[in-house]
């Protein structure tokens, strides 16, 4: 921890000293700008539109009446930009002089597809989505609302190349697969920081409420040298909400799981406050969730676990000068989760119980600054997450299956960018940075002589340069990581090329190298149950790092014709894995014969390749449609043995990786304030393991059926006494009831034999108030 304390101290000193310096540079100018923002077609004033001063850290949102005012502006010529989800950006350039007041009004045209926008996940710098060197897909608040998704896990499925699956019948362990690769091949970021640990990955996707999310940016493949070499499958970057105006809201959703008495209650509230001068803001949120356990087949054992959780958090910012800002973020979760039978009894009195109680605390501090001419951009940051988990994973009323796990993750770093008018042959932006990642994991089983203690330290440095103009961009970078579990530093190169023959068409090609270190992953910290016995995973002796090479090419086309806007995307990808991690049964027992041991070892290698197609269409203000499909193959180079039964044949196909999957979201507004939404996901047939237990006498690889998980919702919003706005909605999830029909039953079931949609046919009702 000594090194961690040193890094934390250095980052804190940098943030304080830089903020003090920029505060000293800040001075009152008494220059101000005010105005309103309206809908170009209806003339209606638009609330909560973001108005920014280009080249600075200054930004604010319009009030509920659609007006804004910004004071104490930097002198000189600046661009004022108005942006809002569902509208095209608008801008005007003014030259500010001391003591003068200016008026800037905006009329925004609708753009339901959000064809362009600012993203950060391609290069860690703000960039237009169209001009980004890598394809960045964005899940905004509209998708979460349209699909009635209370957490990240539910909303993440509505993206091309992404599939969220439930991997445990008892506790509901979930993971997100990008391009068919396991969840630990992808990196989950919170505000661009890699603080989401392996322990957080077990249940973390369900512990991040949609109420704290501004948007989620998904990059498939390696893409950028800046986010870490472990992002082989891609990155999932969760951008949290920031206060831009003073507002508040409260909502409640009620889901009847399986159209039964098993209910899922979600209550969310949020409020944001902004100072009169716009220099500071605070956003606070909370979510309470109470979900009953659900037994689909009536055997007395849950197929969906019960959850009782509460999450609270805040994000604040202070603009210490027109060109610098400090941000502080915190969120905490307390969750109780239980699956199995006899949920009303203590865990050790049940035949099967998987029970966890989490206390999670996560926070970050960052400083962002830039020079007045906009050429230099720098930031320093510190993020940390602490998780305390009390658990019980046991069968047969075992009193020894209690455990405790703690995990501390800390990330410290800094980054500097410089913009060149011309570097060799084109305008360019050079970015370099340092990052230190520390993870201290301790996993203890009280009743057995079993303990996992792992300290991981990663020193990372990176440099990349992006040459870019309207037609071309070339990004070349390299990241070097010194991992404490690997004897030598690992270099991971990244190269991205974009060519746009005209503004609305872009071709991209990407190469990225990466690695995964031999350390504990999320499923290692989750103990499954099969045949009445616990399943534990250990790491093989001399396990070495897994290397990867990722390639992709894509075409991205935008077109507007009349009242309709269209976006079509096609991408081909290939990921080559060397010394691939695989699992096999050892035939060994532990914990007095109550646990079977599986071993993670280096396999032969694997290839995942295929293509992703996506289309998005919007017609006027009435209809929007987006859909995507991925076609792929996932194969080991040499068939891998996964069972200790000599009669079970090895398999060359990667488990739980379908050759076809996709999604669709459609919205129709027949008249003002009334919406009809249709959403769904398709999962093709795949190969999955079925371990010996109540459902089968021997281990067997099962070919699952395909599933269409479709849902619909209607909603209507209206003003209440001109004080607030009330929105009511009702819907059905999984209309076709495409739910698994062959669950294992009873005490001897294989809890890992689960596939298909996470919910049976369910009814959803909800209401929300916004002020």
CATH code of the domain containing 77 = 2.60.40.1120
Determine how many CB atoms are found less than 10 A away from the CB of residue 216.
25
Residue 389 belongs to a domain:
yes
Looking at the domain assignment, is residue 10 inside a domain? no
Asked if residue 369 is part of any domain, the answer here is yes
pTM for the model: 0.85
**Measured distance CA(325)–CA(282) in Å, rounded:** 13
Percent of the chain with pLDDT over 90: 42
Whether residues 86 and 149 fall in one domain: no
Q: Are residues 529 and 615 in the same domain?
A: yes
Q: How far is residue 554 from each of residues 205, 357, 514, 525, measured CA to CA in Å?
A: 28, 44, 21, 37
**Is 3 a member of any domain?**
no
**Do 625 and 654 share a domain, yes or no?**
yes
pLDDT of residue 23: 44
With bands split at pLDDT 50, 70 and 90, how would you rate the model's confidence at 48?
A: confident
- Tell me, yes or no, whether 126 and 86 share the same domain: no
- Give whole-number Cα distances, 105 to 50, 84, 270, 431, in Å: 13, 15, 29, 36
Cβ count near 259 (within 10 Å): 12
Strands (E), 257-297: 263-274, 280-291
Pairing state of beta strands 533-539 and 595-602? parallel
- Same-domain status, 65 and 142: no
Look at residue 594 in the predicted model and tell me its pLDDT. 67
**What are 277-333's pLDDT values in tens digits?**
778 889 999 999 999 999 999 999 999 999 999 999 999 999 888 888 899 999 999
**pLDDT on residue 126:** 63
Cβ-based neighbours of 487, under 8 Å, separated by 6 or more: none
Helix (H, G, I), strand (E, B) or coil at 451: strand
DSSP 695: S
Is 43 a member of any domain?
yes
Same domain, 195 and 278: yes
Same domain, 159 and 46: no
Q: Provide the residue count of the chain.
A: 771
- How far is it, in rounded angstroms, from Cα 215 to Cα 119? 10
Work out how many domains the chain is built from and give that number. Answer: 2
Residues 312 and 418 in one domain: yes
Judgement on whether residues 78 and 132 belong to the same structural domain of the protein = no
Q: Which residues contact 427 (CB under 8 A, 6 or more apart)?
A: 419, 420, 421, 467, 468, 469
Residues 35 and 136 both lie in one domain: no
Reported as half-sphere exposure (CB side, CA atoms, 13 A), residue 450 has a value of 23
Whether pLDDT at 114 is above 60:
no
Q: How many Cα neighbours within 13 Å face the side chain of 577?
A: 30
291 vs 535, more confident: 291
Q: Is 707 exposed, middle or buried (0-12, 13-18, 19+ CB in 10 A)?
A: buried
Residue 382's pLDDT is 95
Rounded Cα distance, 437 and 130, in Å: 32
Q: Residue 470 is part of a domain; what is its CATH number?
A: 2.40.170.20
- Out of 66, 82, 108, pick the residue that ends a domain: 108
Is there a domain that residue 1 lies in?
A: no
Residue of 769, 765, 47, 747 whose CA lies nearest to 352: 747
| Statement to judge: residues 79 and 128 lie in one domain | no
Looking at residues 559-583, what average pLDDT do you find? 87
The CA distance from 183 to 369, in Å, is 34
Cβ proximity of 469 and 501 under 8 Å: no
Q: How many CA atoms lie within 13 A of 375 on its CB side?
A: 5
Tell me what the pLDDT averaged over the chain comes to. Answer: 86
The 8 Å CB, 24+ separation contacts for 135-139 are 135/219, 135/220, 135/508, 135/554, 135/556, 135/569, 135/571, 136/217, 136/218, 136/219, 137/217, 137/218, 137/219, 137/220, 137/614, 138/114, 138/215, 138/216, 138/217, 138/218, 139/215, 139/216, 139/218
Give the Cα separation of 749 and 254 in Å (integer).
30
* 227 phi and psi angles, rounded to 5 deg: -100, 5
226 with 329, same domain: the answer is yes
Give the residue from 88, 108, 128 where a domain finishes. 108
pLDDT, tens digit (0-9, with 9 covering 90-100), for 700-720: 999 999 999 999 999 999 988
Q: Does 215 map to a domain?
A: yes
Domain end, chosen from 61, 80, 108, is at 108
Q: Does a structural domain hold residue 628?
A: yes
Q: Are 296 and 278 in contact (CB under 8 A)?
A: no
User: Which domain, by its residues, includes 188?
Assistant: 114-740+763-770
* Among 443-447, 510-514, 760-764, the least confident range: 443-447
pLDDT bin (cut points 50, 70, 90) of residue 120 is low
């Amino acid at each position: 921890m000594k090194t961690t304390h040193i890094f934390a101290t250095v980052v804190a000193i940098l943030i304080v000293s830089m903020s003090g310096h920029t505060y000293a540079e800040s001075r009152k100018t008494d220059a101000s700008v005010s105005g309103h923002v309206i809908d170009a077609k209806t003339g209606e004033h638009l609330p909560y539109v973001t108005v920014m001063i280009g080249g600075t850290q200054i930004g604010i949102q319009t009030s509920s009446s659609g007006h804004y005012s910004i004071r104490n502006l930097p002198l000189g010529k600046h661009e004022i930009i108005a942006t809002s989800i569902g509208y095209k950006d608008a801008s005007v350039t003014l030259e500010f002089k001391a003591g003068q007041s200016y008026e800037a009004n905006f009329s925004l045209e609708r753009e339901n597809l959000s064809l362009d926008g600012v993203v950060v996940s391609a290069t860690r710098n703000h960039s237009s989505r169209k001009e980004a060197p890598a394809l960045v897909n964005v899940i905004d608040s509209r998708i979460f609302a349209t699909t009635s998704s209370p957490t990240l896990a539910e909303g993440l499925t509505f993206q091309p190349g992404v599939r969220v699956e439930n991997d445990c019948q008892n506790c509901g362990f979930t993971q997100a697969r990008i391009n068919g690769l396991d969840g630990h091949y992808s990196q989950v970021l919170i505000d661009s920081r890699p603080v989401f640990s392996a322990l957080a990955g077990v249940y973390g996707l369900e512990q991040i409420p949609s109420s704290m999310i501004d948007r989620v940016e998904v990059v498939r493949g390696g893409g950028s040298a800046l986010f870490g070499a472990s992002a082989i499958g891609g990155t999932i970057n969760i951008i949290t909400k920031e206060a831009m105006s003073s507002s508040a809201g409260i909502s409640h959703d009620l889901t009847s799981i399986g159209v039964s008495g098993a209910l899922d209650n979600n209550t969310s509230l949020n409020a944001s406050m902004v100072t009169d001068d716009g220099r500071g803001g605070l956003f606070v949120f909370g979510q309470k969730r109470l979900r009953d356990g659900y037994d689909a087949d009536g055997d007395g054992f849950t197929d969906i676990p019960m959850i009782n959780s509460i999450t609270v958090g805040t994000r604040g910012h202070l603009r210490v000068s027109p060109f610098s800002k400090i941000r502080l973020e915190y969120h905490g979760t307390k969750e109780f989760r239980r699956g199995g039978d006899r949920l009303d009894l203590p865990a050790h009195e049940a035949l099967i119980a998987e029970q966890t109680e989490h206390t999670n605390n996560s926070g970050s501090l960052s400083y962002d600054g830039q020079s007045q001419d906009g050429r230099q951009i720098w930031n320093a940051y510190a993020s940390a997450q602490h998780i305390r988990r009390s658990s019980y994973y046991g069968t047969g009323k075992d009193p020894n299956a209690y455990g405790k796990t703690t995990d501390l993750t800390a990330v410290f770093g800094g980054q500097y960018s410089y913009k060149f008018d011309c570097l060799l042959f084109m305008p360019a932006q050079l970015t370099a940075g340092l990052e230190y990642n520390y993870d201290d994991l301790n996993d203890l089983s009280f009743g057995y002589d079993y303990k996992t203690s792992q300290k991981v330290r990663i020193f990372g440095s990176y440099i990349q340069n992006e040459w870019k103009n309207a037609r071309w961009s070339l990004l070349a970078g390299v990241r070097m990581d010194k991992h404490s579990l690997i004897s030598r530093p690992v270099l991971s190169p990244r190269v991205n090329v974009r060519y746009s023959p005209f503004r609305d068409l872009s071709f991209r090609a990407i190469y990225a190298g990466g690695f995964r270190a031999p350390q504990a992953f999320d499923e290692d910290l989750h103990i499954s149950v099969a045949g009445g016995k616990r399943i534990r995973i250990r790491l093989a002796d001399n396990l070495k790092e897994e290397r990867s090479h990722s390639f992709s090419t894509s075409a991205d086309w935008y077109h507007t014709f009349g009242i309709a806007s269209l976006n079509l995307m096609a991408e081909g990808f290939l990921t080559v894995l060397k010394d691939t991690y695989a699992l096999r049964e050892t035939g060994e027992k532990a914990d007095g014969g109550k646990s079977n041991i599986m071993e993670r070892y280096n396999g032969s290698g694997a290839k995942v390749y295929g293509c992703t197609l996506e289309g998005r269409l919007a017609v006027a203000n009435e209809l929007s449609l987006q859909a995507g499909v991925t076609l792929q193959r996932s194969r080991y180079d040499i068939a891998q043995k996964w069972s200790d039964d000599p009669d079970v044949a090895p398999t060359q196909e990667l488990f739980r990786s379908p050759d076809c999957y996709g999604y669709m979201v459609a919205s129709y507004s027949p008249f003002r304030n009334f919406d009809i939404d249709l959403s769904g996901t398709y999962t093709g047939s795949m190969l999955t393991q079925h371990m010996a237990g109540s459902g089968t006498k021997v281990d067997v690889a099962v070919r699952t059926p395909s599933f269409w998980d479709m849902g619909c919702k209607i909603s209507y919003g209206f003003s209440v006494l001109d004080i607030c706005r009330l929105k009511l909605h009702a819907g059905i999830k999984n209309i076709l009831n495409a739910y698994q029909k062959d669950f294992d039953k009873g005490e001897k079931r294989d809890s890992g034999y689960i596939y298909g949609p996470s919910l049976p046919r369910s009814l959803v009702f909800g209401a929300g108030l916004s002020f």
